[in-house]
Amino acid sequence: MGFYFFIMLLNFQGFVGDWWNGSGLYPDPCGWTPIQGVSCDLYNGLWYISILNFGPVLDNSLECFSSASFSQFLFKLKHLRSLSSFECFSASQSTILPSTGWENLAGSLETLEFRSNRGLTGEIPIQFGYVTNLQSLVLVDNGFIGRLPQELVNLTSLRRLSLAGNGFTGSIPDSLGKTMTELKLF
Give the CA distances from residue 56 to residues 62, 87, 173, in Å, rounded to whole numbers and listed in that order: 7, 7, 33
The pLDDT of residue 99 is above 90: yes
Going by pLDDT thresholds of 50, 70 and 90, the confidence category of residue 23 is very low
Per-residue pLDDT tens digits for 55-68: 876 565 666 766 77
Going by pLDDT thresholds of 50, 70 and 90, the confidence category of residue 44 is confident
Decide if 83 contacts 109 (C-beta within 8 A). yes
Kind plus residue range of the DSSP H or E element containing 6: helix 2-16
Give the CA distances from residue 179 to residues 90, 107, 123, 126, 176, in Å, rounded to whole numbers and listed in that order: 33, 19, 24, 20, 8
pTM of the model: 0.82
The pLDDT of residue 38 is above 60: yes
Q: Where are the domains of the chain?
A: 2-184
The pLDDT of residue 134 is above 60: yes
Burial 11-21 (b: 16+ CB within 10 A, else e): bbbbbbeeebe
Most confident among 28-32, 64-68, 86-90 (mean pLDDT): 86-90
- Mean of per-residue pLDDT scores for the chain: 80
Cα-only R_g, the chain: 16
Q: What is the fold, at CATH topology level, of the domain defined by 2-184?
A: 3.80.10
